[in-house]
């Protein structure tokens, strides 16, 4: 809160939908805001960086749906600003491009509230770009006009000079005009625009579900209706629209485009896998079915005296080093012991703590580690793991005469999923499982296997997880050959490619 008693309002553009297009300044202000007034069409993760104590106020508008009147939004901006707060008015796209940011800035000025404007990436440029259409091109368009396709219904007549717009020597970009496509095309053609001029409409531009339709100006409305194109959409008219089919399409060519993939692993790890899936074009649903709870957190752990230390998961590594730190120890406490890890993820986590594991089996299961340790003399072994885990490794070591101490470093508990998260995951194209616990808790959250859609494909990280799926009456459609996250992603990609090829052959 400002010491002067008067706050400041930031009119911030959140971009067209892809979270990666949020500006650094926008993220900085979101993280520092006392109050955030946000619209409907902002990136799904735009508010993730807000402070826990920040007040989040939804002020979105939706055609034919519940909407907050602009006068009420103006009043909230003034009230919060006058109360000395740092206020972020978060708007989709750019606040000064059909975002009513100019109107809000004038209201703030009249009320004496300081304000700043943070431009955002506007959808009129971004959506065509993601659709493979540059709005300008040296040979085809030297100018671009941004036009609203949805004027104020209170106006007695259109403020657009349609004949002048039809004669405009460049690209025409219409915002919010998908429902007005027949009227837009009719008026442009009547004004002298060529009926066979290339045109396009981009639905949900920059988002995983983006769809693009290219036609002529005369046929675009009919094509869009046949393809069931819906808002939010951007319409573009001009020769540059033809460039999409001349090799510039890229976004919709990514291997997982148009597919939804549910990620069920713990939230701390889910975001990394989800980010990789999004880069490949998928709509990644973060639906963590589990949560990692450290056991005896803060209790010192002394690994001295063991000639073998086995780690079975990255979570176990993290908890181990927290327990070492609690006793004033670090990686040097493992000196002299053979350190074994199941899987490259566990090995990577160890290296991040300065420990290079001595043994990492080629197969990422306990049985493989038992085989890898077959010729290693073991007197005392420490197995650090989750509280509920298979006893394959400790039993095998004891059978060889070793003294084995099993330390349960953490437990896996159920993470509550909202109704929306459950519904979205159950209807996803793919659901990924990275452990047996993700299977058990995910199915419990959904209320049983029957809730999973018939078209949903189940992806398992390895044979142990697959066995748990089968115990619950489900057959995995995909199992990773390498039992780590990289292997899981590769297996999913291969399955998606195979199905796409089969679908293409059927259409042919």
Determine contact, residues 221/113, Cβ cutoff 8 Å.
no
Number of H helices, E strands in the chain: 16, 20
CB within 8 Å of 184: residues ≥ 6 apart: 149, 174, 177, 235
d(Cα 385, Cα 404) in Å, to the nearest integer? 13
Report CA 9 to chain centroid distance, whole Å. 28
- Catalytic residue status for 68: no
Determine contact, residues 339/309, Cβ cutoff 8 Å.
yes
Q: Reduce the DSSP state of residue 487 to 3 states and report it.
A: helix
**What are phi and psi for residue 286, nearest 5 degrees?**
-85, 100
- Catalytic residue status for 39: yes
Of 440, 304, 486, 309, residue with least CA distance to 385: 309
CB within 8 Å of 412: residues ≥ 6 apart: 266, 290, 291, 292, 293, 386, 387, 388, 435, 437, 441
Q: Which residue has the tokens 């002298």?
A: 192
**What are phi and psi for residue 460, nearest 5 degrees?**
-110, 145
d(Cα 465, Cα 285) in Å, to the nearest integer? 20
d(Cα 15, Cα 120) in Å, to the nearest integer? 5
CA atoms within 13 A on the CB side of 327: 17
The DSSP symbol for 93 reads B
Q: Which of 18, 34, 39, 429 is the catalytic position?
A: 39
CB within 8 Å of 295: residues ≥ 6 apart: 319, 387, 408, 409, 410, 411
Q: Which of 74, 91, 176, 429 is the catalytic position?
A: 176
- Catalytic residue status for 61: yes
d(Cα 102, Cα 120) in Å, to the nearest integer? 14
Q: Which residues are catalytic?
A: 39, 61, 176
């Amino acid at each position: 809160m400002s010491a002067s008693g008067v706050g400041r309002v930031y009119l911030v553009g959140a971009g067209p939908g892809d979270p990666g297009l949020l500006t650094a300044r926008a993220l900085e202000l979101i993280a520092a805001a006392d109050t955030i007034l946000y619209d409907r069409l902002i990136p799904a993760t735009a508010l993730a960086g807000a402070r826990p104590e920040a007040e989040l106020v939804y002020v979105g508008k939706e055609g034919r749906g519940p909407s907050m009147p602009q006068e009420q939004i103006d009043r909230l901006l003034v009230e919060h600003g006058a109360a000395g707060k740092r206020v972020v008015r978060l708007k989709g796209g750019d606040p000064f491009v059909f975002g009513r940011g100019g109107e809000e800035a004038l209201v703030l000025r009249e009320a004496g509230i300081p304000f700043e404007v943070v431009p955002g990436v506007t959808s009129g440029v971004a959506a065509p770009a993601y659709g493979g259409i540059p709005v300008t091109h040296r040979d085809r368009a030297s100018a671009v006009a941004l036009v609203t396709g949805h004027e104020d219904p209170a106006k007695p007549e259109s403020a657009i000079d349609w004949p002048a717009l039809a004669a405009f020597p460049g690209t025409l970009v219409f915002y919010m005009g998908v429902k007005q496509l027949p009227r837009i095309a009719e008026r442009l053609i009547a004004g002298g625009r060529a009926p066979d001029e290339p045109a396009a409409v981009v639905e949900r531009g920059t988002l995983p579900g983006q769809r693009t339709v290219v036609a002529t100006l005369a046929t675009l409305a009919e094509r869009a209706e046949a393809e069931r194109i819906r808002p939010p959409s951007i319409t573009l008219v001009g020769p540059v629209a033809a460039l999409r089919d001349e090799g510039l399409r890229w976004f919709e060519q990514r291997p997982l485009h148009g597919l939804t993939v549910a990620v069920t692993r713990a939230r701390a790890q889910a975001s990394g896998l989800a980010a990789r899936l999004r880069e490949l074009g998928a709509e990644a649903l973060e639906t963590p079915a589990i949560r990692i709870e450290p056991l005896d957190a803060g209790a010192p752990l002394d690994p001295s005296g063991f000639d073998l230390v086995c780690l079975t998961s990255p979570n176990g590594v993290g908890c181990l080093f927290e327990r070492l730190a609690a006793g004033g120890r670090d990686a040097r406490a493992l000196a002299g012991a053979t350190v074994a890890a199941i899987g490259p993820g566990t090995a990577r986590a160890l290296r991040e703590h300065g420990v290079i594991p001595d043994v990492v089996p080629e197969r990422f299961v306990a049985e493989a580690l038992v085989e890898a340790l077959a010729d290693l003399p073991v007197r005392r072994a420490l197995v650090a793991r989750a509280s509920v885990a298979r006893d394959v490794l400790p039993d095998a070591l004891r059978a060889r005469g070793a003294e084995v101490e099993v330390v349960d470093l953490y437990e896996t508990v159920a993470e509550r999923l909202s109704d929306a998260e459950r519904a979205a995951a159950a209807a996803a194209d793919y659901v990924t499982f990275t452990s047996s616990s993700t299977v058990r808790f995910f199915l419990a959250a959904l209320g049983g296997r029957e809730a999973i859609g018939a078209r949903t494909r189940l992806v398992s990280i390895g044979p142990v997880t697959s066995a748990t799926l089968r115990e619950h009456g489900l057959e995995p459609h995909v199992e990773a050959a390498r039992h780590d996250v990289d292997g899981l992603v590769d297996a999913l990609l291969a399955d998606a490619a195979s199905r796409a090829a089969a679908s293409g052959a059927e259409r042919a």
